[in-house]
Amino acid sequence: MMLFSKKKWTVILPIATSILLYPSMVLADDTITQVEVPKVEEVVSNEPSTSQTILETSLVSPSDLNSSQENKSSDELSSSEKVSKEEAVSVEDTTSSVSDTEEVNASKEEQELINNNSNGKNEEEIANRDNEATNASGFRAKPGTANAEVVTDVSEGTTGLRLQYQREIPQQTSILFAVWTDKNGQDDLKWYRAETGGVAYVSYENHKSYGLYHVHTYANQSGRMIGLNATTITIKEPTPKVQITKADDNHYRINVSDVPQTIKSIVVPIWSDKNGQDDLKWYQAKQLSPTQYETLINVKDHKNDFGFYHVHLYGYSEITKSLIGLMATPGFKHENKQEETYAKVSLQGYNKNNSTFSVVVDASQSTKTPRYVRVAVWSEAKGQDDLKWYTPAISNNKATTQVDIANHSNTSDFYIVHVYTDYSDGKTIGTDLGKHYINRPQPANKISSKLTSQGIEIKLTSDSIKDLRQIRFAVWSDDKGQDDLKWYAANSNGVATANYTNHKGYGTYHIHTYVTQSGQLKGLKADKLTISKPNIKVAINKLSATNYEVVVSDVPLYLSGIVTPVWSDNKGQDDLKWEKAAKISSTSYKSIIDVRNHHFDSGHYSVHIYGYNQLEGNRLVGLSASPGFNVKKVEQGKITAVVTNHKPNEGTLDVLISETPTSPKIKSVRVAAWSESKQENLSWYVSDSVRNGSIVVHVNQANHQHKKGNYTVHAYVTNTDGQEIGFNLGNHMLNSNIKGSASQGNYDVINRVVYLDAGHGGRDPGAAYFGHSEKELTTIMQNLVRQRLEKEGYKVVTTRESEDVYVDLLDRSKKSNASNSDLFLSMHFNASVNSSISGIETYMYKYYQEYPSRINKTYHNNPERLARSQVLANAIQSETVKRTGAPDRGVRRETFAVLRETTAPAVLVELGYLSNRSENNKVIQPSYQAKLADGIVAGIKKYYRTYQ
């Protein structure tokens, strides 16, 4: 009961049917009596003020407000009550904030008032009375309202009720709704304030109940509460429909329809009658439409049980905000329509004269699923002292194992085979495959040996020795007894190689084979082979007036390489050249003799053949003196120099220096180019990169202060005889309008072009420790960084593409200055006499007067260039250290040539010390190299963010 009290008397109102009273409500015509109301903490909107309020409708009895609600019979069960106890979902009880058990005294007049209002009046009478009262107070139906008799319209939604006050709302008046359910009295009472237009929304979450909802409407008019209307609405419990159909022999489809939208998901617990609920499984149904769900049941998930299956439905209710039982369905019966069959077990590949056979368990046609197979085998004569269990793996419902009598007594005997198959239903089926006689064949051990480029390859094949790693080979030559005796262990294939370098001498080599048994060596077989002395063949062929081909054949495999010393008879051996022969097959080599390397001497040339002999410690030994060849006098040609690829508007041209078949060979070239009368913009290009008898030098206007003009080009070529030849290649117009970039001193221009310089290369390996060189690692790092930058949309220019290419320091800066790059990064690895030093350090330029700039006089000490170099150095240093965890050796300054002569902001990073063994081991690992590359790229991107 809800208690209303004032001083010495109390009015007791029935729960769930009484119109709620606020303080200062009128109980009789024109008679105001103060009534104290307990504060309801869960009111949804603000409570009205406690000033005087007029009640213009009489109190309503329970029968009045509940006349539309049909009472359930005591034996009627809700759908949730039909669900078994095992599935019951506990719902937390809601504790009422208003007591209905306290008893208080009421005056006779007050009690009579309550009783008089419990006389069974219906909702229609109450509504009529409400209308009269509200119309008297200015609450009239809105013009055009469809049903002028309805005061408050209540409609059901997915997540709650929509309340619509249908009358006009006077000024300074607010509409409030009191809402509660029949369940547990008024413990879920909530107040809702109407929005503009008289609308309010009731969330089911505030009430969490199905059944009858009471909605009472009040007006707060200038602090006075006026009761306007009482109505109800019933929220029916869900009553979905279920259809269960058999999809195939193992699957059943559960289709749920007529699901109200207040149910947001459906779960289906299913279990068979067998063994209680040990196979209980909950299925999450798939929603097919707003009102339909479906799930597919596989009886294999229920141990393939036959018989009756229970199917219950649960749903998550938006009203109760919990999982509720919906119904217990009729379920379904899964019948066994197939006779149980087990795997087929058989012996295959049996022959009494073979020492092996197979046992096969095939369940591909079985109704049972094998889980584990065990095969027991033993010989009859030995009892079970040689019993061995085989456990083959099961694949595609089939298991196969090979039985070898060598794993048992390894004698001629009857062998007994039993097979045990465990199935997924818990059954184990034993199969006796009987006993089978094996006539053990005599063991056969075969030794083979052959010469390879590394040594004598020895192989044992055996049908009796299973672990060939127990084989040992003793090898020695007849030369000086057994002083070169060496032992070699076979691998799992029975193969070992006796390296030539472990032996010496020619003639007969002995090979004895042993097997290790119980710690003892047992001799198996002896063999031998012959290694003959070299007996090579030499053929010399003329290819051109200046080129001769020397072909050496029948080269023994123990010779690891061939060289041919060649000289002319003219002036002794002053032109002696040792030519390394190229290997063209396993036993033949070829070298090319170019008379241009011998001063173009005519007459007889001597050719001798030498080889690196592994039987003599890989020493270079003489093999043969050939007849040589004769050369007639050759009319010398000339080296040529021309300008090609002249592109005036792009400001570039190439100088091509080429040999001819009869000209001297090129050693190096220098090219000078300028356009100013006093050679103010003179720049030299130097190269010794001879490719196929030619050198290409790239001249770029950017290397000449970007000045337009008619450029004079001279070339100076030095041949292999030390002679220098000059060429005047004339004048060529270069008039590019390209503004350039930071590489030309325009530091505000950003092209997203990065210049990567891999340190060292070609004949300059850089630091080299523990089998790894700097040129090798810088090339790897350049490629990793380039891949990452290009993926980010940057263009990358590099000094070199291969570790085998040498580029002069000045040429590196020239190439960078001629590009449109925004920055220059040179990558290196460090070294120190102190092998304990490790870490990363980054360098930027520092000016030293004793090291003046040669080609970057204008910009080498430019403040903007230095400031940007500082930003770039700091970014790369911090990001690489952060990602690798390497010791931070900081940003330093030096006058390195590439930093001095490069116009763009330039840094040089030392990515680790190769002289430190631990750090050396790190920097050669791909995973660590990736971290270095990630750090460098992160630093470059940070630099761009600073200036973009």
539-585 pLDDT, tens digit each: 999 999 999 999 999 999 999 999 999 999 988 888 999 999 999 99
CA–CA gap between residue 753 and residue 906 (Å, rounded): 13
Q: Which residues, at least 6 apart from 727, have a Cβ–Cβ distance to it below 8 Å?
A: 641, 714, 715, 716, 717
The gap from C-alpha 753 to its chain's centroid, in whole angstroms, comes to 29
CA–CA gap between residue 156 and residue 163 (Å, rounded): 9
* Run of H or E residues at 947: helix 926-947
Pair 400, 347: CB distance under 8 Å: no
pLDDT at 739: 66
Q: Write the DSSP symbol of residue 615.
A: G
Q: Where are the alpha helices (DSSP H) in 767-913?
A: 774-791, 809-817, 863-884, 897-901
CATH number assigned to the domain covering 446-526 = 2.60.40.10
Q: Coil, helix or strand for 596?
A: helix
The mean per-residue pLDDT over the stretch 276-296 comes to 94
Pair 712, 884: CB distance under 8 Å: no
CA–CA gap between residue 149 and residue 140 (Å, rounded): 10
CATH 2.60.40.10 fits 641-734, yes or no: yes
Pair 324, 89: CB distance under 8 Å: yes
Q: Write the DSSP symbol of residue 703.
A: G
The residue to which tokens 């196979």 are assigned: 279
Q: Coil, helix or strand for 285?
A: coil
Q: Which fold has domain 742-947?
A: Aminopeptidase (3.40.630)
Dihedral angle, C-alpha 479, 482, 484, 489, nearest 10 °: 130
pLDDT at 851: 94
Q: Which amino acid is at 824?
A: F
Share of the chain above pLDDT 90, in %: 65
Nearest Cα neighbor of 309 from 285, 330, 282 is 330
The encoded tokens of residue 573 equal: 């051996």
Nearest Cα neighbor of 345 from 407, 401, 387 is 401
426 CB neighbour count, 10 Å cutoff: 8
Pair 173, 226: CB distance under 8 Å: no
* Run of H or E residues at 941: helix 926-947
- Banded pLDDT at 705 (limits 50, 70, 90): confident
CA–CA gap between residue 238 and residue 99 (Å, rounded): 31
The encoded tokens of residue 809 equal: 């320091």
- Residue ranges with strand state E in 491-581: 495-499, 507-517, 520-531, 537-542, 547-553, 559-568, 577-580
CA–CA gap between residue 55 and residue 847 (Å, rounded): 98
Q: Are strands 629-631 and 471-477 parallel, antiparallel or unpaired?
A: unpaired
Nearest Cα neighbor of 741 from 752, 731, 732 is 752
Phi and psi angles of residue 630, each rounded to the nearest 5 degrees, phi first: -110, 140
The sign one gets for the Cα dihedral 25, 26, 31, 37 is negative
The encoded tokens of residue 259 equal: 């699901």
691 CB neighbour count, 10 Å cutoff: 8
Tell me: pLDDT of 269 over 60. Answer: yes
Q: Coil, helix or strand for 912?
A: strand
The gap from C-alpha 328 to its chain's centroid, in whole angstroms, comes to 47
The residue to which tokens 């504790």 are assigned: 95
In the chain the first and final C-alpha atoms are separated, in Å, by: 75
- Banded pLDDT at 891 (limits 50, 70, 90): very high
Tell me: pLDDT of 816 over 50. Answer: yes
Higher pLDDT, 888 or 53: 888
For the chain, what's the residue count? Answer: 948
161-175 pLDDT, tens digit each: 999 999 998 888 999
- Banded pLDDT at 684 (limits 50, 70, 90): confident
pLDDT at 44: 39
The residue to which tokens 């008879």 are assigned: 569
CA–CA gap between residue 121 and residue 139 (Å, rounded): 23
433-446 burial: b if 16+ Cβ within 10 Å, else e: beebebebeeeebe
Tell me: pLDDT of 30 over 90. Answer: no
Nearest Cα neighbor of 177 from 141, 145, 213, 209 is 213
Tell me the C-alpha to C-alpha distance, in Å, between residue 610 and each of 536, 563, 617. 10, 5, 15
Tell me: pLDDT of 614 over 50. Answer: yes
The mean per-residue pLDDT over the stretch 350-360 comes to 93
Q: Which fold has domain 2-72+98-235?
A: Immunoglobulin-like (2.60.40)
Domain boundaries, the chain: 2-72+98-235, 241-334, 344-438, 446-526, 537-631, 641-734, 742-947
The encoded tokens of residue 175 equal: 């509409």
- Residue ranges with strand state E in 788-839: 795-798, 823-830
The encoded tokens of residue 774 equal: 């700097």
- Banded pLDDT at 148 (limits 50, 70, 90): low
CA–CA gap between residue 628 and residue 540 (Å, rounded): 7
Tell me: pLDDT of 633 over 50. Answer: yes
Find the largest Cα–Cα distance for the chain.
Answer: 152
Pair 159, 204: CB distance under 8 Å: yes
Q: Which amino acid is at 338?
A: Q
CA–CA gap between residue 843 and residue 897 (Å, rounded): 12
Radius of gyration of the chain (CA): 51
Tell me: pLDDT of 19 over 70. Answer: no
CA–CA gap between residue 122 and residue 352 (Å, rounded): 103
Q: Are strands 753-758 and 823-830 parallel, antiparallel or unpaired?
A: parallel
Q: SS3 string of 71-129?
A: CCCCCCCCHHHHCCHHHCCCCCCCCCCCCCCCCCCCCHHHHHHHHHCCCCCCHHHHHHH
CA–CA gap between residue 600 and residue 602 (Å, rounded): 6
Q: Write the DSSP symbol of residue 393.
A: P
Tell me the C-alpha to C-alpha distance, in Å, between residue 690 and each of 666, 700, 805. 7, 20, 11
CA–CA gap between residue 712 and residue 699 (Å, rounded): 11
* Run of H or E residues at 295: strand 292-298
CA–CA gap between residue 874 and residue 844 (Å, rounded): 10
Pair 551, 593: CB distance under 8 Å: no
pTM: predicted TM-score of the whole model, two decimal places: 0.41
389-436 pLDDT, tens digit each: 999 999 999 999 999 998 998 889 999 999 999 999 899 999 999 999
| Mean pLDDT, all residues of the chain | 84
The mean per-residue pLDDT over the stretch 748-771 comes to 93
CA–CA gap between residue 880 and residue 933 (Å, rounded): 8
The residue to which tokens 């509940």 are assigned: 66
CATH of 537-631, one of 3.40.50.1360, 2.60.40.3760, 3.30.450.20, 3.40.50.10490: 2.60.40.3760
414: Cα within 13 Å, side-chain hemisphere: 8
DSSP for 127-173?
HHHHHHHHHHTT--BPTT-S-TT-SEEEEE-SSEEEEEE-B---TTE
Q: Which residues, at least 6 apart from 607, have a Cβ–Cβ distance to it below 8 Å?
A: 538, 540, 550, 564, 565, 566, 593, 625, 626, 628, 629
Higher pLDDT, 936 or 748: 936
pLDDT at 145: 52
Q: Coil, helix or strand for 38?
A: coil
Pair 261, 53: CB distance under 8 Å: no
Q: Write the DSSP symbol of residue 69.
A: P
102-125 pLDDT, tens digit each: 222 333 333 333 333 333 334 444
CATH number assigned to the domain covering 241-334 = 2.60.40.10
656-669 pLDDT, tens digit each: 999 998 899 999 99
The encoded tokens of residue 907 equal: 């840094």
The answer to whether the 446-526 and 742-947 domains have the same CATH topology is no
Phi and psi angles of residue 541, each rounded to the nearest 5 degrees, phi first: -125, 140
Tell me the C-alpha to C-alpha distance, in Å, between residue 850 and each of 508, 683, 846, 892. 70, 21, 12, 19
pLDDT at 122: 42
- Banded pLDDT at 63 (limits 50, 70, 90): very low
The mean per-residue pLDDT over the stretch 611-618 comes to 92
207-245 pLDDT, tens digit each: 988 999 999 999 998 888 999 999 999 999 999 999 999
Tell me: pLDDT of 708 over 80. Answer: yes
CATH 3.40.50.1100 fits 344-438, yes or no: no
Tell me: pLDDT of 787 over 80. Answer: yes
The gap from C-alpha 514 to its chain's centroid, in whole angstroms, comes to 51
185 Ramachandran zone, left/alpha/beta (phi>0; psi -120 to 50): left
The region of weakest confidence among 203-217, 277-291, 692-706 is 692-706
Pair 659, 705: CB distance under 8 Å: no
